[in-house]
Amino acid sequence: MLGFLRFMLLDAVAIVGATVIPMDSERVLPNQTVLVEGQRIVAVGPADRVAVPKGARRIDAAGKFLIPGLVDTHIHIPPEGSDDARAAREFRLFLAHGVTTARVMIGQVEHLGLRDRIASGAWLGPTLYVASPPLGIKAGSLPGVPEIKAPEDALRFALDAKRAGYDGVKVLDGMSREEYDAFVAGAREAGLPVWGHVPDPVGLSRALAARQDSIDHLAGYLEALIPADSPLHKQEAIRLADALAAIDEGLLPGAVAATRAAGIANVPTLDFWSVLVNAASPGELRKRPGLEYVPAKQVAEWSEQQRKARERNPRAGEVVYRYHALRARIVGALHAAGLPVLLGTDSPDTWNVAGVSALEELKLLVAAGFTARAALHAATRGPAAFLKGEAEYGSIAPGRRADLVLLDADPLVDIANLSRRAGVMVRGRFLPAAELDGWLREIAAAAKQDR
């Protein structure tokens, strides 16, 4: 009787008959039952051996595939502390597309509150890691960004980030080498990881020597492939066509080897960069998935911006193609060397939709040479290891947090099958496809009204 009450109080859920892709190895486990109590997985085993407690919610998963929840290591959420409705909408978009953990890369004090409310169960959303406000931009341009007059100010900023409760510190552009070194020293003293960009005055080699914990957007890699004696290094601004003409890909193995020696993770955000630097027409960009969840007036603004950009540079197509092909080769080389390459979307942003962009990013990783399993690793166990959360999430095993995605088709056959969701479980709460689809319909309907 006491055992029955314990299961009932902890909301036992049994996912029965699924093919489990645990992501703890290369194995695939057919016809499994995954038993969840409260927020935790308590058992994983053959369906004929794991007893389903009386009173537990039973989810028939025969013919379906169960994977760990996805981790997006580069997202943004509304900066306004009062804009809870917008934050809730974004969280629903992430969850509806299987993203159950995320790293916020421009943090503010309000985001710490959101992080803690989600952790306590008061809010429904992905588990959050929150970076500090970014250092390397104009003071006051975002809340929490101080004026840096000397390297000591950068060191103090990193220490203050720890006291405020941030999970890491964010580097942006516009920082001198001396400020960067002081910032990293402060972060190390505070015990915080250093995440983000590589400022131009710092360069890739210095960021690697400093063991910056993650480099986002492949920052610094293209510049590192321009020979040291190139006059381009003396220019403040370099045209993309000129940079590509100067690139020596023979330098890539050295950059990869140095990255490997430093043990640094990369978050390439290929999908976001594909629309940030592009030569497409507004009509082509309007075909991107997920735009039905974006207010029509916002899409119209993006379209006008794109029209003007094409007018300014009508012959950019070939240069843009070569640029993205090079970025894909860099990512492929990092992956081939066994380096951590992690899912990150920089969403939501221009033409880039929360949750939706995660699948687009994984497709681009596959196009860059990843197997479907390797791409899934970049979205599950890889980020968990990077964020030191392997005991909590990123794989399916007893004791892990019950963040799961149930699919109607095998993602190891085709990574696009991640879009065929039968349900998402977040912290032990199972959200069936019908509920997720209802959320998406509501968000799409609201976007149509917001003109």
SS3 assignment, position 18: strand
Q: Which residue, among 32, 48, 37, has the nearest Cα to 9 in the 3D structure?
A: 37
**Whole-angstrom distance, CA of residue 67 vs CA of residue 65:** 7
Q: What angle do CA 187, 191, 194 make, to 5 degrees?
A: 45
**Whole-angstrom distance, CA of residue 302 vs CA of residue 17:** 45
Overall residue count recorded for the chain in this entry: 451
Domain boundaries for CATH 2.30.40.10 within the chain: 2-67+396-449
SS3 assignment, position 121: coil
CATH fold of 2-67+396-449:
Urease, subunit C; domain 1 (2.30.40)
CATH architecture of 69-386: Alpha-Beta Barrel (3.20)
Contact 219, 235 (CB under 8 A): no
Q: Give me Rg for the CA atoms of the chain.
A: 22
Contact 420, 408 (CB under 8 A): yes
Per-residue pLDDT of the chain (451 residues; tens, 9 = 90+): 333 333 344 589 999 999 999 999 999 999 999 999 999 999 999 999 999 999 999 999 999 999 999 999 999 997 654 577 888 999 999 999 999 999 999 999 999 999 999 999 999 999 999 999 998 777 777 777 877 888 888 899 999 999 999 999 999 988 899 999 999 999 999 999 999 999 999 999 999 999 999 999 999 999 999 999 999 988 878 889 999 999 999 999 999 999 999 999 999 999 999 999 999 999 999 999 999 999 999 999 999 999 998 988 877 889 999 999 999 999 999 999 999 999 999 999 999 999 999 999 999 999 999 999 999 999 999 999 999 999 999 999 999 999 999 999 999 999 999 999 999 999 999 999 999 999 999 999 999 887 5
Domain boundaries for CATH 3.20.20.140 within the chain: 69-386
Sign of the dihedral through C-alpha 181, 187, 188, 192: negative
Count of Cβ atoms closer than 10 Å to residue 295 Cβ: 15
Report the DSSP beta bridge partners of residue 70.
Answer: 99
